Amino acid sequence: MFLGRLSAPILFGSLFVSTAALAQATARPSAPEPAAAAAQTPVEGDATQRLLGPAAQGLKLPFEKFRLKNGLTVLLHQDRSVPLVSSNLWYHVGPANEPAKRSGFAHLFEHLMFEGSRHVGRAFDTLLESVGATNVNGTTSWDRTNYFETVPREQLELLLWIESDRMGFMLDGLDQTRLDVQRDVVKNERRQSYENAPYGPSSLALLDTLFPAGTPYHGAIIGSMADLSAATLDDVREFFRTYYAPSNATLALAGDFELEPTRALITRYFETLPDRPRPSARSQPIPPPSPQRLIVKEPVELARVAFGFITPPAYTPDDPVLEVTMAVLAGGKATRLYRSLVVEKKLASEVDAALDSNQLASSSVISATVTSGKPVADVERALSLVLEGLGKQGPTSTELDRAKRRILLNVVGNLELLNGPGGESGRAGILQRFDHYRGDPGYFAEWVRQLANVSAADVQRVITAHLGPEHRVVVVTEPGAQRGAAGATP
């Protein structure tokens, strides 16, 4: 799940350098780590090759990794086939790091990063648009915030200058007026994405129950209106100085560039930024919830039933199994939930199953939109029976292969992009994800291998361990409330 400047929540993406900037970017010798590596096509054991055939050859992602003296980590993936370069800059901070009573602050800060910096001023969008930049945005997820753009290869230096200026001198472009403007933008985003959106209040109720007050992910990324109102300029300054340090960031470039000149440019523009200690990573565990059932009345026409679960963190051993389990349950007309609830019983008009993998804990959500005139209790019971049946009997070999093939083909499609629309897909995004969650971009190959080798017994095991009724949060959306009056009741 992530939020961006223009995105809705996902649950159920001629060179100009000023004199001042050139002075800022005086080069110093770099001391990169000799940590080059390459992710290879994971075809051992024949599982990936059997599932994808020749398409399996597209599952490789070579890269180089090094670190500057001030701690900035750099990932480089070279592709000379298209004259473009994508930048994807991750700061390892998200809602998990927010101070008490400041929910939504990481996302608010993401918006503020587009308000200007000392040398770029407020010309960020103008400069990039003038050189034909595409896919320009930022997003906030539970554990990280990212900023990305794609430019013609000859504009790489402009891109690096802009991002280094934001990293080093963002506070010089900020004042109370700009904070107030973006605070209002984020509040309006909350209204549009949750409070006034169909099933938005139900999504908030589910998230706030899975991640209750006192846990790192409480606040649903967007935060509460009260906490957003309370944010001060001093809060912004402290957040920037603590988390927006080179040592707490990773820069990924993917595209058409020469390796050594690009390393020199990165050193020139980023290594002169001040060293600051990397903040300690938050490691507070998030336990599974006790069984709960909430009813949320909303101004919608159709009821909806959602089951939510806390599941293991991103890219731990059970995570790829849960990914496959969700794909067996929903995502196509041949999946378990669709066949049972939509086709056979005609209880639901839509079904969904999604895994949101994160650093401290993941969430799995299974939902069904109730067909008009059908009892909610029947849909809730049918959801439970499908999940229980899959846990007892496991998927068929056809179901299992279909689910894995769909996931892997989606990965192959992602690898055709330099960077995806949310900053977590495409080659730059994939490298960032595995570096952030595993400390190794090359873990991509191991994850593909694990996913291709998921067995029916694995699916049965994770349903028993993580998707049982003893840890289930049920949210039932009932039609009826006036807009703006939705509320959750036990």
Q: How far apart are CA 101 and CA 230, in angstroms?
A: 8
Q: Residues 93, 292: contact at Cβ < 8 Å?
A: no
Task: Say yes or no: 317 and 239 in one domain.
Answer: no
Task: Say yes or no: 238 and 318 in one domain.
Answer: no
Give the helix ranges, DSSP H, for 191-318.
200-210, 225-230, 233-243, 259-270
46 within a domain of the structure (yes/no): no
DSSP code string of 263-288:
HHHHHHHHTTSPP-PPPPPP----PP
63 within a domain of the structure (yes/no): no
What integer pLDDT is reported at residue 50 of this predicted model? 87
Q: How far apart are CA 412 and CA 458, in angstroms?
A: 24
Q: How far apart are CA 435 and CA 418, in angstroms?
A: 17
Q: How far apart are CA 284 and CA 359, in angstroms?
A: 10
Task: Say yes or no: 205 and 312 in one domain.
Answer: no
Tracing tokens 């000799």 back to the chain, one arrives at 34
246 within a domain of the structure (yes/no): yes
What integer pLDDT is reported at residue 483 of this predicted model? 58
Out of 223, 239, 270, pick the residue that ends a domain: 270
Task: Say yes or no: 304 and 206 in one domain.
Answer: no
Task: Say yes or no: 152 and 241 in one domain.
Answer: yes
Task: Say yes or no: 263 and 327 in one domain.
Answer: no
Task: Say yes or no: 264 and 330 in one domain.
Answer: no
Q: Residues 434, 315: contact at Cβ < 8 Å?
A: yes
What integer pLDDT is reported at residue 24 of this predicted model? 32
**CA neighbor of 40 nearest in space, from 59, 25, 67:** 59
| Structural domains of the chain, count | 2
Structure pTM?
A: 0.88
Q: Residues 483, 196: contact at Cβ < 8 Å?
A: yes
**CA neighbor of 29 nearest in space, from 264, 354, 324, 333:** 264
Task: Say yes or no: 259 and 326 in one domain.
Answer: no
Q: How far apart are CA 474 and CA 490, in angstroms?
A: 10
Q: How do the pLDDT tens digits run along the chain, 490 residues long? A: 666 654 433 333 222 222 223 233 333 333 334 344 444 434 344 788 888 888 787 788 999 999 999 999 999 999 999 999 999 999 999 999 988 888 999 999 999 999 999 999 998 999 999 999 999 999 999 999 999 999 999 999 999 999 999 999 999 989 999 999 999 999 999 999 999 999 999 999 999 999 998 899 998 899 999 999 999 999 999 999 999 999 999 999 999 999 999 999 999 999 999 989 998 877 888 999 999 999 999 999 999 999 999 999 999 999 999 999 999 999 999 999 999 999 999 999 999 999 999 999 999 999 999 999 999 999 999 999 999 999 999 999 999 999 999 999 999 999 999 999 988 999 999 999 999 999 999 999 999 999 999 999 999 999 999 999 999 999 999 999 665 555 566 7
Residues 6+ away with beta carbon under 8 Å from 471: 288, 289, 290, 291, 309, 310
Rg value, the chain, Cα: 23
Task: Say yes or no: 75 and 131 in one domain.
Answer: yes
49 within a domain of the structure (yes/no): no
164 within a domain of the structure (yes/no): yes
Task: Say yes or no: 249 and 303 in one domain.
Answer: no
324 within a domain of the structure (yes/no): yes
What integer pLDDT is reported at residue 143 of this predicted model? 95
Task: Say yes or no: 431 and 327 in one domain.
Answer: yes
DSSP code string of 382-405:
HHHHHHHHHHHH---HHHHHHHHH
Residue ranges making up the domain that contains 377: 292-489
Tracing tokens 């963190």 back to the chain, one arrives at 313
56 within a domain of the structure (yes/no): no
463 within a domain of the structure (yes/no): yes
Q: Residues 353, 330: contact at Cβ < 8 Å?
A: yes
> Which structure tokens are listed for 139?
């997003």
Q: What is the CATH number of the domain that holds 242?
A: 3.30.830.10
Task: Say yes or no: 312 and 377 in one domain.
Answer: yes
Cβ-based burial of 10 (10 A; exposed 0-12, middle 13-18, buried ≥19): middle
Q: At CA 241, angle to CA 208 and CA 221, rounded to 5?
A: 15
Cβ-based burial of 200 (10 A; exposed 0-12, middle 13-18, buried ≥19): buried
Other CB atoms within a 10 A radius of the CB of residue 96 amount to 24
